[in-house]
Amino acid sequence: MHNIDIAKTEPAYQDLLSRPIRELGLKLEASPVERFVEQLYRELEAKGLTKFRPACYLTDEWGCPSGEPIIGIPFYLANAALAQLEEETHDLEDAREIMMYLRHEAGHAFTYAYKLHNSAEWKKIFGPFRRPYHDIYRPAPFSRDYVRHLPGWYAQKHPDEDFAETFAVWLTPRSNWRKRYRGWGAMEKLLYLNRLARKLGKSDPPRRRGQADITVDDMDTTVAEFYHQNRREEVAVTELTPDTDLRDIFPVSKRKKTALPAHEFLHQHRKAVIDKVAQWTGAQRPLVKTLMDTIEKRAGELDLRADKTRGAEHLAEVTAYATALVMTYVTKGKFIQP
């Protein structure tokens, strides 16, 4: 995440940045994100889950507190100005991504509401719920024992995440999961979920209510402090010297009529490249973001140019280059090997 320079931000943000988040009066009701929650509830109804309506609340990030059948939604999605600030300093979720996260978190909430993770069948199909939870995990790319929903082979992270991802795929309208996952090991999990829905659809969950960890009403930090504190952890990119590589990728003369600054080209395609590299490598998204920010910044410092007529070629090369670097980092712990 980029630093927020309060002096240079839009006037509309000036007041927001200096105010504690709990004083902004943010509510889920009548906010821009409420319609997505309503869509989630309609999807649950359409799947026959007539008694399961997980409560949603505004907090600091997407989540479902462990064991609690409730869904936390990032506070910035409840306010148009905050969403714009998030987009400029980070990556704002689009409508498709918001629904992907909601369906995933609903899977966690479904597990906790009906205490599924305590059952022998759940453990047999997904694994032990008490398995240690690691943020850094080594997935098996292209494994057919898991569904594919969130980027980074996320279902492989933990049995709890495996169930949540399976639930999300099962819930998604027109996901066509019976056809897409035919012959996959993941099909057993989807069919189990389908049986569960028929069995529990009209039953009240044992745990109807959950306890939130932190809500917007508890957040004493100002908006500016939140963004400074939550800047992604810097990763070891100091050994990365991409000058020669970037000159090879963008060997365009400044005098060429169709030339544009390479750092502008990279910024235009930044989110798409990050999304795809994270999706197919399984690397942690902050790692990919930091790498792309480094590449974009260096391309600007070198004053390189892209060619508007060769956009597809540049994009393919940058994506392949970033993927190669990330896979080297994932397997070797460094971007560049001596």
Residue 116: inside a domain: yes
Same domain, 67 and 105: yes
Residue at which a domain ends, from 216, 233, 264: 216
- Would you say 54 and 205 are in contact if contact means Cβ atoms under 8 Å apart? no
Q: Give the three-state DSSP class for 66.
A: coil
256 and 107 share one domain: no
My answer on whether 24 and 116 are in the same domain is yes
Range of the domain at 320: 243-332
pLDDT band at 306 (very low <50, low <70, confident <90, very high): very high
* Exposure string for 276-301, b = 16+ CB within 10 A, e = fewer: bbbbbbbbbbbbbbbbbbbbbebbee
**Residue 149: inside a domain:** yes
Q: Is 58 within a domain?
A: yes
Whether 247 and 203 map to the same domain: the answer is no
Q: What is the mean pLDDT of residues 157-167?
A: 96
- CA–CA separation, 224 and 142 (whole Å): 40
Cβ atoms < 10 Å from Cβ of 332: 10
**174 and 27 in one domain?**
yes
The answer, yes or no, to whether residue 21 has pLDDT greater than 70, is yes
Residue 5: its pLDDT value, please? 45
Asked if residue 222 belongs to a domain, the reply is no
What is residue 91's predicted lDDT score, i.e. its pLDDT?
Answer: 77
| Position 292 in a domain | yes
Indicate if 209 and 248 belong to the same structural domain: no
Pair 261, 182 in one domain:
no
pLDDT in tens, 24-35: 999 999 999 999
Based on the domain organization, do 250 and 188 belong to the same domain?
A: no
Both 319 and 174 in a single domain? no
Task: Confirm whether 310 is domain-assigned.
Answer: yes
Q: Domain for residue 252, yes or no?
A: yes
Q: Where are the beta strands (DSSP E) in 188-288?
A: 259-261
Which secondary-structure segment (H or E) carries 70?
Answer: strand 70-74
What is the rounded average pLDDT of the residues 76-85? 92
195 and 176 Cβ atoms separated by less than 8 Å:
no
**Has residue 236 been placed in a domain?**
no
Same domain, 151 and 10: yes
Tell me how many domains the chain contains.
Answer: 2
Q: Average the pLDDT over each of 13-22, 222-231, 264-273, 277-286 and give the range with the smallest value.
A: 222-231
Are 270 and 124 members of one domain?
Answer: no
> Are residue 39 and residue 182 in the same domain, yes or no?
yes
The pTM (predicted TM-score) of the whole model is 0.83
pLDDT > 70 in the chain, percent: 91
